[in-house]
Amino acid sequence: MDNFSLVIIGITSNLAQIKLIPTLYDLIAAHSLPSTFQIIGVGRTMMDQSAFRAFVSLTLRTPNRHHTHPINPGIEQELFSHLTYLSADLTDLSSYAKLKSILATHKTQNHMFYLATFPSLYGSIFANLKTTGLADEKGGWTRLLVEKPIGSDQDSAKQLNNLFTQYFREDQIFRLDHYLGKETLQNILTFRFGNGILEPLMDAAHIAQIQVTASEDFGIGNRGNYYDQNGAIKDVGQNHLLQMIALTTMDAPLVMDNLSITRERVKVLENLVPDPTSLVIGQYVGYQNEKDIAQGSKTETYFSFKANLNNDRFRGVPIYVRGGKHLSRTATEVAILFKNSPNVLIYRIQPNEGIVLKIKTKKPGYTLELEDSYMQFCYPHNLDLPDAYEKLIIDALRGDQTYFNDANEVDAQWAFTDQLISATHNVIPTLYPQGSWGPQDTIDWLEPSTAFCTI
């Protein structure tokens, strides 16, 4: 891997604390980075290098469901050796002159800028990077890493994508949806196109329906400001769940490269049609009492809807989608139910990651009694799978955009989602008790099983 400087703009943000700083620790622990590299954390908070290290140390030791293992002081010190902090006003050109001076001390021309800050600041950031020459490629590469969501609707997403391309080429822009970095999600393509057994059955002649679930048994935590302005549909429906549908139903790419895989994902998204009349939204009891939630908020914490894929292969197959907070169980999966058959193919993204086929078998005994069994591929529980952020940061450093969104993909996602968001206007979400499966609807949902990939 090339030597590089990673500039994280917004190093004290919630995203950086929950995801980025733990990810950098894990990448160092796994020896996944070159021996010499530089990480510059940029933030508004005034603090010296000692205070910054104390902040990072506290972040690593703060309870975090995404990062649960003990902290090794040796690895922590190795991380510290690569870190520099810059207190900056992102609208002030002089801050970028200071950043340029810091970058000049490290002998690499490869620069990646990770934006973990508000989109309203992007224009100032890009203009100042350009003015100071930091956006230029001189003897190396310059890349931009941007976290989802890109915009809040199709129009704002177009504006942001136009802003990106004013300063960067498309091959420099890495729009990150961390779900595309999940091991099982990426394995769907290998399972489908690397094996010839089930792929011929993936069409309307054989499939009765597809169910996509992203349920969580916890609430919004400390994300009240963000969540109350966006809701569950924008939080996971606009991105994660649509990617799950795309990888499950896309045609085989001509070659397994970025352009071919992305092209097939976009085809699915452009032909995916929501049924806004089927939309059900809910809000868990107690949401109004969460931190930073507006009084009388109508923000949904649960949704379900029906969609159809308007192409020859899947036309007529209903695709049912649901997601929500404080539900009965945490489970993210795609379940493919076959016609005239008890068989179900399940891509379990989390937890108990794996790919399983539900079948009927004879129950041991003296009588012919059937029971559900599973043919399963499971990741061993003692195997420490790379976190999605780890994989995607490595991909970005290598210049591989396969599991990142391009502008057309983002546009297609919002074109689909905007139709659902419009259907929520002036609708009061149905209250549902914490620990339930959300409001009642007319869909016969499969309950995510705990019977497989448990060892």
The set of catalytic residues is 240
CB-based contacts of 30-36 (< 8 A; 24+ apart in sequence)? 30/386, 30/390, 32/390, 32/394, 33/1, 34/1, 34/2, 34/3, 34/4, 36/3, 36/106
For residue 133, the Cα-to-chain-centroid distance in whole angstroms is 31
Distance, in Å, from the CA atom of 276 to the CA atom of 274, rounded to the nearest integer, reads 6
Q: Which residues of 402-423 are buried (b: 16+ CB within 10 A; e: fewer)?
A: bbbbbbbbbbbbbbbbbbbbeb
**Nearest Cα residue to 359 out of 339, 344, 338, 337:** 344
Q: Is-contact 339 206, C-beta < 8 A?
A: yes
Q: Is-contact 315 340, C-beta < 8 A?
A: no
Helices (H) and strands (E) in the chain, counts: 13, 15
| Dihedral over Cα of 313, 315, 317, 321: its sign | positive
Angle at 108 between CA 104 and CA 112, to 5 degrees: 95
CB-based contacts of 145-148 (< 8 A; 24+ apart in sequence)? 145/112, 145/113, 145/114, 145/115, 145/174, 145/176, 145/393, 145/396, 146/115, 146/173, 146/174, 146/175, 146/176, 147/15, 147/115, 147/116, 147/176, 148/175, 148/176, 148/177, 148/178, 148/239, 148/405
Distance, in Å, from the CA atom of 199 to the CA atom of 246, rounded to the nearest integer, reads 15
Q: Which residues of 217-238 are buried (b: 16+ CB within 10 A; e: fewer)?
A: eebbeebbeebbebbbbbbbbb
Q: Is 434 exposed, middle or buried (0-12, 13-18, 19+ CB in 10 A)?
A: middle
